[in-house]
């Protein structure tokens, strides 16, 4: 992989992994628009995903450390605050659906789930989901284990390119009564085990096949770019959603879908 591909794909991954516009969908579109090779696409995506999960780790270091400490204390039957206990339980039960469904659908990830037409459809469906969340959701409840499971079910939508993990989980949180700030924070924390687990699994599988060594320095550059852009994107989204709704992303997704439809039909 050359430097241009690494910089471009790293920037796309870092920006779109956390903004509710779908990273997998934009990576597919970037490869199509710029004519980039799709060889070893899953290997590249796995490495770039690890870069963005490193960004989450750095940004939410205090929260993740507190959760790890709480888990340790629970294992050894020590006192844990109610807030930390609920958050930890919500993340655990919320992670299960995406892990199970991800394993079941793994064989489809490199085939039908890489279709540009599928991305077009899910861009629209994701926009509708976020619009409904903003229009009808009541933001007056605290996080519980049940709402954590509910958001985890919404996270399963992100297995399909174009839906967006953050868009699905933030919308799910709003539907389940969380405030926009609480839904956004939980969305990032819930993403950590799923993205880290899937990225490491795919990375180990492909490393054993000798694929990564063929991608060269371009992949290293992509990793660094994805990490830095990812940090900036996390900070931006958290601050943005404190005072704004998801509607700007709804309109972006719909506009992109229309442009994509025209290009596919005319082309």
For residues 200 and 49, what is the distance between their CA atoms, to the nearest angstrom? Answer: 9
The pLDDT assigned to 267 comes to: 65
The pLDDT assigned to 44 comes to: 80
pTM, entire model = 0.90
Q: Provide block-wise average pLDDT over 10 residues at a time, the chain (267 residues).
A: 86 92 86 76 79 93 92 85 92 94 74 77 95 87 94 92 92 94 93 86 69 71 94 94 93 94 85
For residues 244 and 224, what is the distance between their CA atoms, to the nearest angstrom? Answer: 30
- Beta-carbon contacts of 233 under 8 Å, excluding residues fewer than 6 positions away, are 14, 15, 16, 17, 18, 19, 55
- The full length of the chain comes to 267
CB-count burial class (<10 Å; 0-12, 13-18, 19+) for 14: buried
For residues 178 and 187, what is the distance between their CA atoms, to the nearest angstrom? Answer: 11
The pLDDT assigned to 192 comes to: 92
CA distances from 23 to 32, 96, 258 (A): 14, 22, 18
Task: For residue 125, give both structure tokens.
Answer: 């469906």
Are 114 and 161 a contacting pair, CB within 8 Å?
A: yes
């Amino acid at each position: 992989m050359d430097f241009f591909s690494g910089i471009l794909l790293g920037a796309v991954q870092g920006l779109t992994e956390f903004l509710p516009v779908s990273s997998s969908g934009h990576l597919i579109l970037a490869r199509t628009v710029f004519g980039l090779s799709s060889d070893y696409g899953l290997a590249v995506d796995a490495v770039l995903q690890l870069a963005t999960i490193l960004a989450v780790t750095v940004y939410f270091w205090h929260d993740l450390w507190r959760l790890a400490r709480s888990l340790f204390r629970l294992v050894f039957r020590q006192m844990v605050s109610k807030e930390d206990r609920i958050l930890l339980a919500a993340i655990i039960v919320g992670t299960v659906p995406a892990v199970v469904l991800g394993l079941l659908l793994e064989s489809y990830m490199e085939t039908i789930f890489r279709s540009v037409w599928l991305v077009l459809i899910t861009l629209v469906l994701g926009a509708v989901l976020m619009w409904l969340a903003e229009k009808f959701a009541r933001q007056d409840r605290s996080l519980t284990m049940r709402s954590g499971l509910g958001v985890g079910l919404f996270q399963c939508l992100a297995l399909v390119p174009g839906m967006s993990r953050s868009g699905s989980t933030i919308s799910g949180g709003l539907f389940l009564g969380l405030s926009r700030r609480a839904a956004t924070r939980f969305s990032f924390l819930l993403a950590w085990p799923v993205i880290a687990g899937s990225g490491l699994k795919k990375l180990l599988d492909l490393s054993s096949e000798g694929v990564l060594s063929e991608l060269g320095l371009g992949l290293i550059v992509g990793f660094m770019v994805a990490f830095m852009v990812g940090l900036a994107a996390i900070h931006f989204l958290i601050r943005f959603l404190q005072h704004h709704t998801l509607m700007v992303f709804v309109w972006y997704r719909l506009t992109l879908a229309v442009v994509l439809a025209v290009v596919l039909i005319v082309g």
